[in-house]
Structure 1
């Protein structure tokens, strides 16, 4: 057995699990800790704009619950989630094109927990997981902790290539594909409908689980809504859809959910019992009350309108901020924009110099499961006002000059 030294007692301690050493921390969280000073214009975090929270509505919902149903709100709840909240979520999902009953859903402590539960229920050490390239960083962490072998699927500006996906499925025999097909984190891109249908067909032919993460889909600024992959018939019995209130209501509520076939949902419920028994009752009841008393769709529309202005402010400032030869995309919604500098630039190496100018981004390299493109960066455009964005891009241009 390997031991580590104890500075307190002088005697050796048993070593940590190997997975702790093999899976690193989140660079996003590390950057946020370094750039927490109020003078920093922070394009690094995936933080919704706090000034746009409906704090009055959320406070009223909590007040109503704690004055009218305190005994229930402060008590243990079922692992699956409060029936009233699950019914409301099922209605919202059905209206958006995927017929859903309350019993199809499991409420989770943020959609991040849903990913962890799925990894527990589906993956053994050594199993293969397919991901987008680049991929949501915290998903890479979850799959890494499970001991999975993570393989990126080639793609382009529109997302994963279904032909490349099928070739990998045949050759690698993966357990699942993880995807954020709408306003993807980190790139902001959206997978077109024809590719979604093709992905569903690949899953049907080869017995592949599709884990479809949709935290940003309601934040559309322009263009037509694209159906969930889970709504295609070929994906019906092999897809999991994840949702969250973090980006449309408030991340501090830590409320997410997963929609999955019955057997997998039950397995996730067992995993959740071992993790935290249930998601906080008071938060669930307050969210259900908010949905009953307030117009969440109207609130989301107002937030999306503000986010569109902020996206446009960032797009307007990037030509002067980034070096000649850079390129970037124009997302139709969500929170993120993906930029690529000329090949000679390494955005990880440049970051300390950029932070000295009181501005920050996230280097692109940590988002890659395979060989990274070190000239890339993720920019979050929603946290700051258009004026602050313009100033932040001015500072970024100074640092990169």
Structure 2
């Protein structure tokens, strides 16, 4: 039986937080803008392309960013506005797409497999991009390819505010000349090992067998070989059917520091709980994800009574982390995911109850909405 040609579109809102701020204040256009915490310990959550010319990037300490560009404009950020714009884009995609996955607040995958018998997948994706830009004013780039990963890499090549189609059968030709850093997951830990092996571009990976790469890099080596051949693929989680809120962070250096990991866990749980409340939702399931230096990935989840409260989610997250952590195993990625989400109309509406905890969180979120997402943080997360 003939298998339909797989088509995956990857949409990414360019410098999303900054783009929203520019819509709110057009005078920021083409200026070096940084969104994030302005304190000594603050980090850059997003930066404009004008700021990137100074060597600034996301996750950089704000102090260092301002040394590179002292005249940069620092904004605290408004997650309420970002969520509102993201939801508008989501609604447009959900209305048009046969199947899609919302990978993050500013990133979407659309599965167009088999739809080429009805329409031209490239023209359909171009039209959808135009519709999003016309409705929101946001710049957005896309890549179209036969797999999620190649579509994502194509989007990065198309930025800013462009698109790129990797035609079926041309995957290896597209990937071959690209630097290995273009592969998501190749960072400070893996890059020196690959360079020492003489691997500088994606095509260089194919000089080695999967077994040789596995000897050097563990399971990640086999994955790299699969990526270089264009055959590596991941399933698309249909957001028409599933709903979750998640965040994850790949660390600049692998770490075994438990205090650091717990600090990051608290920050991330606060972040997803805040987003949960902004969408008027409750969660009944929290999951923790860990990826180790050898790219072994493990996760664990717990079912909990419906809640939107940080102080109820954080102890469960900490308990899951303790159960997952392997002694002396360096961690490269940590993630938190909330699922089994419910609208508050299905349970007692805590937002409207006159009780101390609900009012406390309303006050906290009001401060974050006014002064920025990073304005209030728990002491243990600083």
**TM-score, length-scaled by structure 2:** 0.28
Higher relative contact order (CA 8 A, sep 6+): 1
**TM-score, length-scaled by structure 1:** 0.27
